[in-house]
Amino acid sequence: MARATSLRAYLRSDKSPEERKLVRKVDFFILSFCCLMYFFNYLDRSNLTQAYVSGMKEDLDFKGNQLTKITTIFTCGYIVGMIPCNLALYYIKPRIFFPTMCVIWAGLTMVTAAAKKPEHIMVIRFFVGVAESSTFIGTHYILGSWYTEKELGKRSGLFTASGLAGTMFGGFIQSGVYRSMNGLQGLSGWKWLFIVDGIITLPVALYGFLLFPDTPSTTSAPYLSAEERALAISRVPDVPEQKPISLAFVKRVLSSWQFYGFVMLWIIAGETESFSSNGLLALYMKANPEKKYTVYQLNNYPTGVPAVGIVSTLFWATLTDYLGGKRYLVGYWIAVTGIVTSAIILAPHSSIAAHFGAYYWAGSVYACQATFFAWANDACRYEEDSLRAIVLACMNLGNNAVNAWWSIVFYSADLAPKFTRGMWAMIGMSIALGIWTIALQFMERRNGKQSIVATEDVLSENVEKQTVSDKVHVKDLLDRWSALRKEEASSSPPRPEDSLWERPPLAQRLNFDAHFPAPASGTGDDGFLFFGASSAPVLSAELLAAVCPQSPLLLQQPGTRQGGSNGPRTRTTHADFDLDFETEPPSITPTKALIHRLVDIYCTSSMVFWPFHLECIDNGGIDILLESTQEQVFSSQPYTRSEAHSNFQIAMICCIACAHSSRLNVMMRAYEQFFYNFASKLIKEVLSEASHDSLRSLLLVIVYLLFRPQKGDLWLQLQSACRLAIELGYHREDAPFFETPDQEARRSRTFWTLYRLEHIIAEKYGRPSDDLESISTIGLPDLSTTDSVSPMQTDFPSSTNLASSLAALSRIRSYIFKTIYLPARAAPLTIDDPYYRVQLHEIEQWRQDATTGAIDPVSSLACTIAYHASVIFLFQNSLLHMLSKLTDPDNLSQGIVGPMAVQSFRSAVELIDCYESLILSDKSRSLSNFPVTFISAQEIYAAALTFLACCFCFLDGRVKQEDLGPGEGHSLVQQPWRPLDLNLLKGEGRRLHHVSASCLSLLTWCAMQWPGMDGMVEIYKEISVEIFQKIAAKGFV
């Protein structure tokens, strides 16, 4: 099941519609041009051999190994032009350079028809090699600039296959030209072949001049919008781009494992292509003493070799992409192929059929071109572009330098038909390839695929340039930061009403203490309880979508939404967002206005005073700030908890400052990498507690990941921040019944910030204002704050017992959150940890106490929903973790998996039933005022995912039928419990697909109310389709 799901995800990309559209455009314009260019490149190369066997040998009086010498001279030209052509891509736009090279080699190909002797062709082919050297490595450089790691293998395979197609069709074209044009205008058929080749190459060059898109950072292609260009830049790692000619750069190249590893790999692997690249099958046929072949046979039979190469290339490129980039598998395949096929040809009694079979099989080694260059691109993905380009160029350079003499020594035409010397050389190189593939695997594992750019040299070279007076200026700034940090603990921040954002009119009717209440001092659990509110997971996603509407991580397909309490409404597109960006167009590249806006959000959300707000955002002082911060802030270790928070936040602030669009240079990237590396060392410590300091640090990480999404999992950090923000509304940092003025101010600031932001976002999405009023507070008549309630409070029955019980449950959930969901936790608890039994017992005990005296339907339903949501909350994290380990059953406790899954399953089904009765069926009058808020939507989504997760466990066999029965030992709390109705799994009564239909209906309804739920509906649809196909196959429904 897991493999089927991953295969479908591979074949049907989970990218956003905008990203899929971009990839389709890039595929069409880049692959069409590059593949056509490479097709004619290889067509020209193969046609030399085709012309040789079609009359050129006799017309020009070739002697001995002159054909092999021509191939060697072509290789020399190829080698000479390789480095200059690749360096030219840094100074000449690819859409100019590539087509120009096409025109040059097309002209030289046509000139070949005028050659009078082999020496003329030798001179021509040298310059053809220089021109054609731009194609192979240059294209791999372009592909690595546009495509992600998961996309690169397939595209490299298509590119390589196009060259093989040129080799294959060269035979057919020569046959057609020879048949129809031999003798036309007094020219031999082989001469017309070169003329036709040159002519048909020219339209491809014109196409490149007009429509080739260059690289993501330099493209001006008319078919790509500004948003698509920004999206293209964000899809690939953001690494420093350096001029390739410098002593420091040469040192980095020569000290990199990628340079030696992949250059040697291609030197060896390239020679395993000798059977095909030297046209040995055609030479074998022409020199075969046992049988004579016609010109048409000599041209057509060898086309089977590149045909096999095309199939092999596409197969291995696709397979290695699907397997997550395991390109080394191709090395082992080629090693086996080279040894076996050489042995077949060397065998003294091998038949003609055996020779043909061996040569055709040997064509499969062409797969190494696409996969090995994709492997090198993968390994260099996190290095600067210039290093990647040099590694790719030197791979080809090294191979061609060896091939220049290798073909003469081992595969000269006068060694046909057996090529005994070459067969033994092939066996030796195949063995060497297998050994080197193992060594390269080890090097890659040891060094890691995501090695970062070394920045210390760049930093040390620039530190000396600053003046003493500048350092004193920055020291003042740092002193201000320290002073403000100390002042923060003793002073209240500005009131929310005094912030830069105006208070929404709707907020005048709300009261902070009614929604984020603190228990009254000395009254035990009595007080107001924050029962429901618009909430965090979708709030933060929509917030970032509004703040940075062009972020590729947040783009959504605009659509029309039907339903809801106010009828149909249309969601606006991202082009409709207008959040005070003034005259600057929205862009993923952080502008000065956007940085200011993000800083405002950060400060407002986390009460941080911003000493560098004016001085550091401006370009004038940024270099000084970063240098002095590097020298002074991080000198003392170890840190106290407060120092760790301060230094982490300063480091992240510096990272964000480096992201300014005017600072995209080597120096700023080096500083950014330094501060990011330092902050990474502190992140576990600063996020190891449920505190406001942790929240503000996490918010800084989120802001930074907006600009550098490849640095981490943005959505994981968002989820962590959302959970933490909610839990801080319940969790008290001091004693449970005492709250300092500073803590109250923090709660107030958090509430108003979240509310203001959500209200603005809601207006932008077109949601009616009353959707935001689904905030219910349970009030007690004897409290003085009962006059500050939400619009719905008066319709909600008062219940002292209910309020007290829900407050107690909130503390249980807060403890669960801190022990299971806190972002700093390295790994989930083991599934059989006694912790789960203890917490479930607490929740069960809470339900028993809460239902005592809850006689009104609303209170009873509130307790039921809270109970089942808490059970799901307790188990879901480990249940999903358990699913990821289903293939390794020995690591799981059989005695605990079943009860955990069944307990979760029961709660999920019960919770879905509760909300279905509330939302999708006719509600009784007694429940008409029950608040269904966005918290409810989150609970529905959690229940739906838990339902599917448990279904996976049932189908996998991990949950046995006996686990569903009652009895001692089956309950997590070690007491008998009501068994799950077995009819649910046996097709009787209410079937599984009925529960799934209810889940989908509820999620769809939620999506009509809250646009952020759209993605959750799609996720559920994808997973449920897979699982119910399996359920149907097993006969459960």
pLDDT-derived band at 452, boundaries 50, 70, 90:
very low
Residue 800: pLDDT over 60: no
**Number of CB atoms found within 10 A of residue 855's CB:** 11
Among 275, 404, 268, 256, smallest CA distance to 335 is for: 268
Query: The whole model's pTM is what?
Result: 0.42
The CATH H-level superfamily of 16-447 is MFS general substrate transporter like domains (1.20.1250.20)
Residue 495: pLDDT over 70: no
Residue 707: pLDDT over 80: no
The helix (run of H) or strand (run of E) holding residue 560 is: strand 560-561
Largest CA distance in the chain: 113
Among 271, 382, 365, smallest CA distance to 315 is for: 365
pLDDT for the residue 831: 54
pLDDT for the residue 728: 53
- Per-chain mean pLDDT for the chain: 65
What DSSP string runs through 446-462?
A: HH-TTPPPP-HHHHHHH
Residue 1009: pLDDT over 80: no
Structure tokens at 781: 């008549």
Alpha-carbon span 711 to 658, nearest angstrom:
15
Among 729, 480, 700, 686, smallest CA distance to 605 is for: 700
pLDDT for the residue 53: 76
Structure tokens at 122: 């030798």
Structure tokens at 731: 């969790």
Phi, psi of 686 (to 5 degrees): -75, -20
In this prediction, residues 764-773 reach a mean pLDDT of 29
Among 565, 508, 605, 942, smallest CA distance to 774 is for: 565
DSSP state of 379: H
Q: Which amino acid is at 325?
A: G
Residue with the larger pLDDT of the pair 221 and 1016: 221
pLDDT for the residue 100: 92
pLDDT for the residue 237: 58
pLDDT for the residue 575: 29
Q: 1032: exposed, middle or buried (C-beta count within 10 Å: 0-12, 13-18, 19+)?
A: exposed
pLDDT for the residue 657: 64
pLDDT for the residue 860: 77
Residue 946: pLDDT over 80: yes
Q: Three-state secondary structure along 75-99?
A: HHHHHHHHHHHHHHCCCCCHHHHHH
Residue 2: pLDDT over 50: no
pLDDT for the residue 655: 75
pLDDT tens digit string along 572-615?
Answer: 222 222 222 233 323 333 344 444 444 444 444 333 333 333 33
Residue 215: pLDDT over 70: yes
pLDDT for the residue 743: 55
Alpha-carbon span 424 to 427, nearest angstrom:
5
pLDDT for the residue 336: 92
Residue found under tokens 């998996």: 897
Residue with the larger pLDDT of the pair 797 and 835: 835
- The answer to whether the CB of 329 falls within 8 A of the CB of 375 is no
Alpha-carbon span 281 to 858, nearest angstrom:
84
pLDDT for the residue 885: 54
What DSSP string runs through 627-691?
A: HHHHHHTT-S-SPPHHHHHHHHHHHHHHHHHHT-GGG-SHHHHHHHHHHHHHHHHHHHHHTSS-S
- The answer to whether the CB of 34 falls within 8 A of the CB of 28 is no
pLDDT for the residue 552: 33
Residue 332: pLDDT over 60: yes
Residue 943: pLDDT over 60: yes
Among 270, 263, 269, 262, smallest CA distance to 432 is for: 269
In this prediction, residues 412-424 reach a mean pLDDT of 80
DSSP 3-state of 492: coil
- The answer to whether the CB of 102 falls within 8 A of the CB of 208 is yes
- The answer to whether the CB of 327 falls within 8 A of the CB of 153 is yes
Residue with the larger pLDDT of the pair 157 and 770: 157
In this prediction, residues 248-265 reach a mean pLDDT of 83
Residue with the larger pLDDT of the pair 1015 and 160: 160
In this prediction, residues 174-181 reach a mean pLDDT of 76
In this prediction, residues 891-912 reach a mean pLDDT of 72
Lowest mean pLDDT among 230-244, 717-731, 931-945: 717-731
Question: 595: which strand partners?
Answer: none
Task: Give residue limits of the domains in the chain.
Answer: 16-447, 463-501+587-761, 807-1034
In this prediction, residues 808-826 reach a mean pLDDT of 60
Percentage of the chain modeled with pLDDT above 70: 53
pLDDT tens digit string along 283-296?
Answer: 788 777 778 887 77
pLDDT for the residue 255: 80
Residue with the larger pLDDT of the pair 397 and 754: 397
Lowest mean pLDDT among 433-442, 799-808, 961-970: 961-970
pLDDT-derived band at 48, boundaries 50, 70, 90:
confident
pLDDT tens digit string along 681-698?
Answer: 777 777 766 666 676 677
DSSP 3-state of 412: coil
**Ranked by mean pLDDT, which of 40-49, 363-372, 427-436, 626-635 comes out on top?**
427-436
Residue 389: pLDDT over 80: no
User: Strands (DSSP E) along 568-626, which ranges?
Assistant: 569-570
In this prediction, residues 784-813 reach a mean pLDDT of 45
pLDDT for the residue 42: 78
